[in-house]
Amino acid sequence: MAVEIKLPTVLRAQADGQATVAVDGATVGEVFNALVARYPGLRGNLLDDSGSLHKFVNVYKDDDDIRYLDGLDTKLADGDVLSILPAVAGGA
């Protein structure tokens, strides 16, 4: 089943400049594993050393934050959309 992943501008360079990527998987974890297998440069931006989601990365399944669902075990259906939003810091 294909899931659409929307990548923010800051991560697109590691995904050959693509704004969206279609990946197969039954859970968010499976999709992320397939995504980082295809684009290894994304691993450090999305997952920590133990394979868990970085605490400064927010992921939404359609409009729902996966942290309030089942995290990386959140089930996906064909046509679901995952949006990745890394935290941004800065200022003067």
Taken in order of first residue, the domains within the chain and their CATH numbers are 2-86 (3.10.20.30)
Q: Residue 40: CA atoms inside 13 Å, Cβ hemisphere, count?
A: 0
Relative to beta strand 64-65, strand 57-61 is antiparallel
Q: What is the pLDDT of residue 31?
A: 95
When comparing pLDDT for 90 and 79, which is higher? 79
Question: pLDDT, tens digit, for every residue of 31-66?
Answer: 999 999 999 999 999 988 888 888 889 999 999 999
